[in-house]
Structure 1
């Protein structure tokens, strides 16, 4: 085809067949793909039949310079189609009337074959895609199954984590309660207070009812207790009594108690080194929780230790108080001098210390009034106090005055107890003489009140404390105390407080001595009590207190 455009006249079915056949050969020679040729020729055949039915038409084929090949069919229903060629358009083909019909029919099968081949390839490709899609679907189903299994596993892990957290929180709560309850029980050294606190701690969260039975309590015989309680006391093993076995760790099961047939009982020995008693708990619900039972077992053990400690403390306290009372002097009755004393042990500890007072007559008829304080607290301080008291009396019998007695005591304490110190004040009253001789070794100053109510603090510089590793000679001082005068000797526990210095306490004592009334001075014991009230505005004091009042009289 040399011209850019060729036109064929289609007047009969034979023309249409030949034109289709020649166009097919032209498209094939121009390099148009078979599938595009088939689509174009099929569409052209349909429209050629319509054109013949309408009386004929002209078919124009145009080859553009840009590789396009245009096909146009005229007639009542014009049709245009454009194809892309890859080869050159050959020379002018014979007209449609010259094309053999047989060749046209055979040529039509070539395109059909090409289409079928493409269709087969497409079907094979579709089969492969279908197989791949099936495998993909199987993989997706397997993935969904794995995801579902992972979700179930994750849910199980979350449930296990929640359970573990709940268990850990319950363990933390039980441990916190055990720690707090142990601190409460061990804070007291009174076994009655411990017995009172146990029900307060356990009811109602851990027990509906609590009963504590001490094995040596004669007020309640064993016959009034549950059989499981008696068994726990006898065997030293925890017992559970209920309508159904408890299965609790470390606890023996017994039948239900006649005293509590419907509610389980847990009977726990209060054990330290020995079984002090039995803690019997009625379940707060239908049964006892195993974890809670483990905590209750430990609490009962600690409660038993607290009870044992409290009883040992009470025994030691009773011994200490008896020893302290034995060390305190019964004040003598002598003409010209009234005496009154008070001793108050510290509110903490064993109620025994190194504070002491003493008053006794000497061979020459004078009276020595003594007050002292050994450093430290407890049994050792009390023993040293007793040794000093005995040595002081021995030195006084030899006729020594206050200063010489303190010098000898200082020497003795330095050699016998080099790491222990003491303070002491000694006043010597001579009947018929208004002057009083006194000496002090590191002791708080005495307070003197004259007959007309004037008050003085005897603040002459005292000597060093007894036992300080230095040689020392003490000095004597003299004070006028005519008849009706009062001399107050005391230990530092009376005037010293943590919140205030000792000087403020001495000033407070001086004011208290000054405001003593005539009625109180008439009975010196009443005066002693009156002095203690303003000095001890609270009931708590960390140190022992000694007060010795000496009042001179006319006869």
Structure 2
């Protein structure tokens, strides 16, 4: 270190600074010549020759103001401190690096009565860089926070802070702009006062669950009353702020999503309506499915009226049939299958004539005077206050009318909801058109079918009843038929049969077969088996295409002493059932013959004769009464026998109706039956 390392200052050697971890240098005199450098300083800046003025020794490091500080400290004796001084220091690998230091200057006495300056230097480059990094991070954090807040303000109407239980502490000013609530009104749970009453319970339940479970995100959709008094849908999203594992507050945002909610609702209802009618062909079932979509989503009640065909909409009173009803829980029920009368000057008829929706409002429970008595009773009990009447136009004509109503405290039907109901009906237009055509075709077919079936004759002492039930699953006319007529000698001829097929051709052929049976039975007095034989020959000759026919033909005649007997023959048909007055029964299987029209049959056609006990019932029927898909036919026949025995004591009409209501029919085929009950003795 040279001479200076052995010198002393006021008896204290300068070597005392050698082990110091901070840099130390000492200068002497007004020229500030170096008299001491410790190892830490040399490590910072490199070695410098002693005796050299500090200006020259550190010319590449010291700034002008630093040199003036040396002069001031030496002259005044006042110590000086500087923080975060910078110096560019050479690197061992070449080049230079900016480094940061703290230093202090103080006056120090030297041997010989001289004075000098002691400089203590601490390098703080790492600390400064870390501090600068932290400041940069803080600035970036503030920038990101401002960006996040900006995004929230762009996408949310309100930003708020609540306590762990959902009590609002702070809310952005937009809350007041939207709802009119002041700070005093919304604080705590006051904000719930502008939430729709029907949504408050679910929101509170969500907060209570969140307080226990602490999910990473709460999301709720609810309605808020805005300044104009209407309710609009908002989405609430909130995240927890936790400390030591406990929620200290929730930070959230609420965004209006009314348009998004309406669009989603519309799409869901249209999808529900399409799915509801997808697999339905019956018009009444289809309208009932649509009424169930409308209630309770769009209205509290909905009933649908079917308009009569070829009706005059300008008559004084218009009569419709209510075929579908749906009512929200808690309201009085409405009966289906009821007639309704509508005066020509009613709003109902205005909707029919103008083919556009009509809206009407009235005091709760006080309907307009032109409503019929049943409608007035329901409106009064349900406290209905507004209705919309929507005509259903199918294929250019008004086929039905939808009447939707709201009741009690529910707001009046919104025009957007009326439009949505119209969209639902339009969305299902094709399905409704097909169902309407099916219904009309089925009615025409049924009317034609009944016109081809004769009324049973009146026979003194004998009861005769017949039933025909068309398949609800098919619009075409079927080939089932029955017949009963009296012969010249007083005997009663009875027949039932089924022509293969389920279309107009089958019905026409059925009518021809029935007429041929009548002609052949009247032509000559012969057993039913022989008549069926001649019928088979006629079918083979007249029928250009192979069509099979089943048939039962029987003749009932008095046997003397008030007794009756049956002579019968069966051609490929189900066996007749004989039920006694006491409830015993058996199938008649003694006269089976082949199917008519199937193959040439050269064997004799057989007939059988059985006595009929007094007050017994003879039942002829077609397969639609007993057949079940995938079930053995014998089970269906056994089921028919048991039901028939249980109804043996009923009047003949009750006997027939009881079979139709008791037997589990599939509805895939028509059902025809004819029953004859012979008189008791005497």
Indicate whether the TM-score tops 0.5: yes
Q: Which runs of 5+ in 1 are unaligned?
A: 1-19, 25-40, 60-78, 86-105, 243-262
Q: Please show how residues 428-443 of structure 1 align to structure 2 within 5 Å.
A: 428-429=555-556, 432=559, 436-443=566-573
Give me the whole-angstrom Cα distance separating, in 2, the residues matched to 1:237 and 1:189.
25
- 1:383/1:165 CA distance change after superposition, 3 Å: farther
* 1:355 and 1:544 in contact (8 A); partners too: yes
Superposed CA deviations along residues 416-467 of structure 1, whole A, max 9, x for unmatched, are 3736433101123455487644321211112346899875432247333333
Q: Please show how residues 332-371 of structure 1 align to structure 2 within 5 Å.
A: 332=457, 338-346=462-470, 348-349=472-473, 353-362=478-487, 367-371=492-496
Match of residue 48, structure 1, among 1, 4, 8: 8
Instruction: Tell me which residue corresponds to 1:416.
Output: 543
Instruction: Tell me which residue corresponds to 1:177.
Output: 269
- 1:144/1:462 CA distance change after superposition, 3 Å: same
Q: Which runs of 5+ in 2 are unaligned?
A: 16-35, 43-48, 65-84, 90-95, 101-127, 158-218, 220-234, 236-254, 319-340, 362-384
Cα displacement (A) at 1:495: 3.4
Instruction: Tell me which residue corresponds to 2:393.
Output: 271
Cα displacement (A) at 1:50: 1.1
Cα displacement (A) at 1:389: 0.3
Instruction: Tell me which residue corresponds to 1:13.
Output: none
**Residues 1:494 and 2:437 aligned together:** no
Normalising by structure 2, what TM-score? 0.49
Instruction: Tell me which residue corresponds to 1:63.
Output: none
Superposed CA deviations along residues 73-92 of structure 1, whole A, max 9, x for unmatched, are xxxxxx9978999xxxxxxx
Superposed CA deviations along residues 212-239 of structure 1, whole A, max 9, x for unmatched, are 786936233453329xx94x65554567
Instruction: Tell me which residue corresponds to 2:515.
Output: 390
Match of residue 328, structure 1, among 453, 466, 469: 453
**SS of 2:342 mapped into structure 1:** coil
Give me the whole-angstrom Cα distance separating, in 1, the residues matched to 2:387 and 2:263.
23
Instruction: Tell me which residue corresponds to 1:445.
Output: 575
* 1:509 and 1:535 in contact (8 A); partners too: no
Superposed CA deviations along residues 273-304 of structure 1, whole A, max 9, x for unmatched, are 225266566786478375x5553222233677
Match of residue 347, structure 2, among 209, 214, 225: 225
**SS of 1:373 mapped into structure 2:** strand
Give me the whole-angstrom Cα distance separating, in 1, the residues matched to 2:625 and 2:40.
125
State the number of aligned residues.
Answer: 440
Superposed CA deviations along residues 370-414 of structure 1, whole A, max 9, x for unmatched, are 111234446554333212101222233332643343344445556
- 1:395/1:183 CA distance change after superposition, 3 Å: farther
Cα displacement (A) at 1:497: 4.1
Cα displacement (A) at 1:144: 5.9
- 1:345/1:239 CA distance change after superposition, 3 Å: closer
**SS of 2:678 mapped into structure 1:** strand
The alignment's C-alpha RMSD in Å is 5.6
Instruction: Tell me which residue corresponds to 2:609.
Output: 479
Give me the whole-angstrom Cα distance separating, in 1, the residues matched to 2:352 and 2:581.
68
**SS of 1:108 mapped into structure 2:** coil
Give me the whole-angstrom Cα distance separating, in 1, the residues matched to 2:606 and 2:544.
25
Match of residue 533, structure 1, among 639, 648, 658: 658
* 1:354 and 1:385 in contact (8 A); partners too: yes
Superposed CA deviations along residues 471-516 of structure 1, whole A, max 9, x for unmatched, are 2356213223267365433222333345854323433444566677
Instruction: Tell me which residue corresponds to 2:424.
Output: 299
Bigger radius of gyration: 1
**Residues 1:545 and 2:545 aligned together:** no
- 1:532/1:416 CA distance change after superposition, 3 Å: same
**SS of 1:353 mapped into structure 2:** coil
**SS of 2:495 mapped into structure 1:** strand
- 1:446/1:540 CA distance change after superposition, 3 Å: closer
Normalising by structure 1, what TM-score? 0.59
**Residues 1:113 and 2:56 aligned together:** yes
- 1:50/1:511 CA distance change after superposition, 3 Å: closer
Instruction: Tell me which residue corresponds to 2:88.
Output: 125
Give me the whole-angstrom Cα distance separating, in 2, the residues matched to 1:58 and 1:541.
118
Match of residue 465, structure 1, among 579, 595, 607: 595
**SS of 1:223 mapped into structure 2:** coil
- 1:318/1:112 CA distance change after superposition, 3 Å: closer
Superposed CA deviations along residues 512-541 of structure 1, whole A, max 9, x for unmatched, are 666777xx5xxxx92463365367426866
* 1:426 and 1:439 in contact (8 A); partners too: yes
Higher strand share: 2
